[in-house]
Amino acid sequence: MDFRLTDDQRALVGALRDLLAARFDRTALRAAVDAAEAEGGTAIPPRDIWRALGETGFFGLRLPEADGGVGLGLPEAALLFEEAGGALVPGPLTATHLAAGVVPGAATGEAVVTLLDARGAGPHSVAHLDAADAVLVLTGTGTGTGTGTGTDTSEAEAEAEAAVTVTVAEASAVRRHAEPLRSVDPLTPLHLLTAADISEITVSGTVPARAVALRREAAVLEAAQRVGSAGRMVRMAVQHAREREQFGRPIGSFQAVKHLCAEMLVRAELARTALYAAAVTADPYETAAARLLADEAATRNARDCLQVFGGMGFTWEADVQLHIKRSWIPSVCGQESAADEDMLAEWLL
């Protein structure tokens, strides 16, 4: 079996890379950060970027062509989300992508949709609520990994589906019950809701979709963005190590720096491999592994990139700090890795 990217997949990624270079380069990224930091700044995400992504088919990528989509699959979506993660594109990319065909305007980028995953007792965080038009609300604990009462995994899937519901609520209805939460990442504004708050939200409809699969696909796409960030950290560290000189030679010639960069590359490639496996198989255990490895790669690569940059890496002008802050968001939002670790341990042992 050939796991190399096809020419069409490379062209797809190249087209998005060109779009982001033209519409969301470093200047646009820093402008978005400054606007988010300023009191009364513009909403995140910028609507012009959102519509541009919609026009390219980013959000409607997996919709059937008959419904106005591109008709591709989760592997292609993972490739694009990896590219977007490397560019730190702000906004609820995953939720809007998953809402295509469900929430009017999501596929074309006219609507911004965010996600409220109310798993466990709470409290629960939701990102980009102020900029959102609608909210996908997932309630229940199903993951698609239950044992069922027989040996058929479809039985476990059915049990998990019964434990999860997906509804759509207007963002204004959710905002009435949410409290702003100061975010470590200026490009990821957060709100907090308790279980009691969620129970009072008036929903506008139920999503006719496989709820557990939706949660699993969300995990793959979020992991893809973190893999993109991890890869970006490798490239930034290597470029800096080549250009920065100390004692009359590039710092990349020093063994300690070489080791840091090599370890970053290994982490990024391992996470990328796990991500592609999860995107192809849609297996719950592959997805858990991909999420764990992506989280580790994003967090540790950002830290090691900071080490390569030295003192200037701590400054506001350096972009390393933006990747570090983005890598912390999963833990800030309560997306702990313990559940994935326990699930994989039970499966392996």
DSSP sequence for 66-93: GGTS----HHHHHHHHHHHHHTT--S-H
Say if residues 40 and 55 touch (Cβ distance below 8 Å).
no
Tokens (6 digits) for 26: 């470093």
- Confidence band for 150, pLDDT divided at 50, 70 and 90: very low
d(CA 76, CA 275): 12
CA dihedral for 7, 226, 220, 95, sign (positive or negative): negative
- Name the more confident of 341 and 57: 57
pLDDT above 90 (res 302): yes
Identity (one letter) of the amino acid at 215? R
* Phi and psi angles of residue 98, each rounded to the nearest 5 degrees, phi first: -70, -25
Percent of the chain with pLDDT over 70: 88
pLDDT value, residue 304 = 97
- Name the more confident of 77 and 140: 77
Kindly state the DSSP code that residue 42 receives in the 8-state scheme. P
d(CA 107, CA 86): 22
pLDDT above 60 (res 149): no
Tokens (6 digits) for 284: 């719950």
Say if residues 110 and 54 touch (Cβ distance below 8 Å).
yes
Look at strands 164-170 and 134-140 and give their pairing: antiparallel
pLDDT tens digit string along 9-20?
Answer: 999 999 999 999
Give the side-chain half-sphere CA count within 13 A for 28: 17
pLDDT value, residue 342 = 86
pLDDT value, residue 338 = 78
114 contacts: CB under 8 Å, gap ≥ 6? 92, 95, 96, 126, 127, 128, 129, 132, 134, 135, 136, 171
Tokens 């849609």, residue located: 282
pLDDT value, residue 270 = 97
- Confidence band for 238, pLDDT divided at 50, 70 and 90: very high
Q: Comparing 53-57, 222-226, 294-298, 341-345, which segment has the lowest mean pLDDT? A: 341-345
Most confident residue range from 29-43, 147-161, 249-263: 249-263
pLDDT value, residue 347 = 86
pTM of the full predicted structure?
0.91
- Confidence band for 340, pLDDT divided at 50, 70 and 90: confident
50 contacts: CB under 8 Å, gap ≥ 6? 91, 96, 109, 112
pLDDT value, residue 240 = 95
174 contacts: CB under 8 Å, gap ≥ 6? 116, 126, 129, 135, 137, 191, 193, 201
